[in-house]
Amino acid sequence: MHQADDYGLSASNIKFDIKKVVERSRKISQQLSSGINHLMKKTKSLF
């Protein structure tokens, strides 16, 4: 972002909602876990 102005870009008043960040993170984690679980059942792999 050091040369952002050279490219016509600016970022002011940036903020984030930690609650939404955590919710999205947990949703993605659940999806990945479900996918791995499905693949393990499909290949009859046990750990």
pLDDT at 1: 63
The model's pTM: 0.62
Whether the pLDDT of residue 41 is over 70: the answer is yes
Domain extent, residue 11, equals 4-42
Residue 47 lies in a domain: no
Whether the pLDDT of residue 17 is over 70: the answer is yes
pLDDT at 3: 84
Count of the separate structural domains present in the chain = 1
Torsion, Cα of 21, 25, 27, 31 (10° steps): 160
CA distances from 41 to 2, 28, 32, 33, 34 (A): 49, 20, 14, 12, 11
